[in-house]
Structure 1
């Protein structure tokens, strides 16, 4: 091998290594950006977890901040979780369903609660709350759309 050949090989290899270095620098930058994002996510999660834990220990219904808005939580029904852990409006809904003689429709619950049941816009939020209570184990939603209290 002559000197120009060796020099050409060195130059080619140096160019390959420079290209590889650029790729690695770009990948390292992307990895660091994702690590920073994950660190922020962990801090937000920790803050929310602490807030939830603090609020669950307080009397009444827990409230958390989500995107700067106060949001009430409806806890899952579980041993040791009393109805008093529910927000007041959910407690009223649960009491209305309990007073019913059997399965009860959303409209009838709305009437029991004094809502204007002729306005669909008044019933849909109630239906959402009933469904949430059913999803969390406080009520049973039957296939016909009526609700009953879980034993």
Structure 2
């Protein structure tokens, strides 16, 4: 009988060891699966960011991109050898207005040139955004007083 009890105790002890090992392996498997999912998400985010950065790189012609399901124009960064003809037509027109002004222009003055309702609150904000984008890409300079002028 003692031999049977000894074998049963060994079996029970080994079963307990295996149960504990199974529990540790299951936890490790869960951790591995979670990390793999995180890596997959990180890869998708990286691919989106990489695509956006590629889309924002300077280009020799105006391009469009999809943002929020809408097509938007991309304004390339200014290069020394590139002319304004690489800008989208709306931006070319803004550049012409700024150039023809012969000096710094206010957003309101550009709005008047474009026949916008400059007295309507908020009507000039999209225009201010376009001028700021041109300034941010090196086509215009934004002065501290908020006016814009062509970049040298």
TM over 0.5: yes
The match for 1:26 is 30
The match for 1:129 is 130
The match for 1:150 is 151
Q: What CA distance in whole angstroms lies between the structure 2 residues aligned with 1:147 and 1:74?
A: 17
The match for 1:102 is 103
Q: What CA distance in whole angstroms lies between the structure 2 residues aligned with 1:82 and 1:10?
A: 79
Q: Is residue 16 from structure 1 mapped to residue 20 from structure 2 by the alignment?
A: yes
Unaligned runs of 5+ in 2: 1-5
Deviation (angstroms), 1:43? 6.1
SS of residue paired to 2:122 = helix
TM-score by length of structure 2 reads 0.77
The match for 1:81 is 82
Q: What CA distance in whole angstroms lies between the structure 1 residues aligned with 2:128 and 2:77?
A: 18
Q: What CA distance in whole angstroms lies between the structure 2 residues aligned with 1:49 and 1:144?
A: 31
Q: What CA distance in whole angstroms lies between the structure 1 residues aligned with 2:107 and 2:49?
A: 36
Number of residue pairs matched by the alignment: 145
Deviation (angstroms), 1:145? 0.4
Unaligned runs of 5+ in 1: none
Structure 1 or 2, whichever has the larger Rg, is 2
SS of residue paired to 1:122 = coil
The alpha-carbon distance between structure 1 residues 45 and 128, as it changes in their structure 2 partners (threshold 3 A), is closer
Q: What CA distance in whole angstroms lies between the structure 2 residues aligned with 1:67 and 1:116?
A: 28
